Amino acid sequence: MSPFETISAASAAFGRNDPSVLFAAMDPAITWNEAKGNPLSDRNPYVGPQAIGEGVFGRLLAALDNFTAEPRTFIDGGDHVVVLGRYRGTLKASGTALDAQYCHVYRFRDGKAVTFQQYTDTAQWARLMK
């Protein structure tokens, strides 16, 4: 499977609340960076799927109800794949809605994602998760 096909499939599975395809696509030493200014960037870089699962996804699920990452555009750059979309969810503590654009940049080597960089509306994230 090409990097483009892998991320397309992972995004579709994630939309069905199945993150296993995304985690299977990760290199064991993947370096994952949340956007600077995002409250979840406090532990950047996350290294390895376990750190990402606990530090990013675990914290997201603890803070937000109905969290989704809805991809709208995929850009095939060979070993780089860019995904543009929107995050949505409801903050558990306040009931405030999250509706933020995102850009994800994945870099692949030997069929596995080795780096991830997130870009998003960090002001909205910081305001919601203060």
Containing domain of residue 111, as a range?
3-128
- The answer for residues whose C-beta is within 8 angstroms of residue 103's C-beta and 6 or more apart is 82, 83, 84, 118, 119, 120
In the chain, how many domains are there? 1
How wide is the angle at C-alpha 80 spanned by C-alphas 77 and 84, nearest 5°?
A: 85
Provide the whole-model pTM. 0.95
Residue with the bigger pLDDT between 99 and 17: it is: 99
pLDDT on residue 17: 84
What digits encode the pLDDT tens for the residues 58-94?
Answer: 999 999 999 999 999 999 999 999 999 999 999 999 9
pLDDT on residue 16: 86
Give the number of other CB atoms < 10 A from CB of residue 60: 16
Q: Decide if pLDDT at 130 tops 80.
A: no
- CB-neighbour burial class of residue 21 (10 A; exposed 0-12, middle 13-18, buried 19+): middle
What digits encode the pLDDT tens for the residues 6-50?
Answer: 999 999 998 888 999 999 999 999 999 999 999 999 999 999 999
| CATH label of the domain that carries residue 98 | 3.10.450.50
pLDDT on residue 14: 87
